[in-house]
Amino acid sequence: MAIDAIGAVADSSSAVTQNAGIGQEDFLRILLAQLRFQDPLKPVDNQQFVAQLAQFSALELSRQQSERIEQLAGIQATDQAVNLLGRTVEIGNADGGSTVGNVTAVSFSSGEPRLTVVSNGTTFVDLRLANVVLIR
């Protein structure tokens, strides 16, 4: 029975590794398994548990900050795209050349702003901000 419980925890942690992150519930499950299966003659030091909790708290804070930075970057990209409306831009082409045109619309695909540029009667749609080489 103990082997099954340890195996279940090991399987859970490998599944978490595949998801590239560990959540609070996963951490608490591991912590409880540690407590449940520790040697009663050699209990784990309280300082180790406190250190583990502190590390987990720091990792959780770092994850939250990363999410907020991604949100801020998305807002900044949206702001930049909207500010390009009506402006003349130079768009880099895949062949190394460029095209000059006016930004006529901004749309969003998967939360990322995409530009519509009209150049000499030709409409280029779904352009990323990274395609903008120069703003005139």
pLDDT-derived band of residue 22, with 50, 70 and 90 as boundaries? low
Contact 95, 84 (CB under 8 A): no
Does the pTM surpass 0.75? The reply is: no
Give the alpha-carbon dihedral of 110, 114, 116, 122, to 10 degrees: -90
Contact 136, 88 (CB under 8 A): yes
pLDDT (tens digit, 9 = 90+) per residue, 93-123? 888 888 999 999 999 988 899 999 999 999 9
CA-CA distance, 94 to 61, in Å (whole number)?
40
pLDDT (tens digit, 9 = 90+) per residue, 37-58? 877 777 767 777 778 778 888 8
Domains of the chain: 2-77 (no CATH), 86-135 (2.30.30.30)
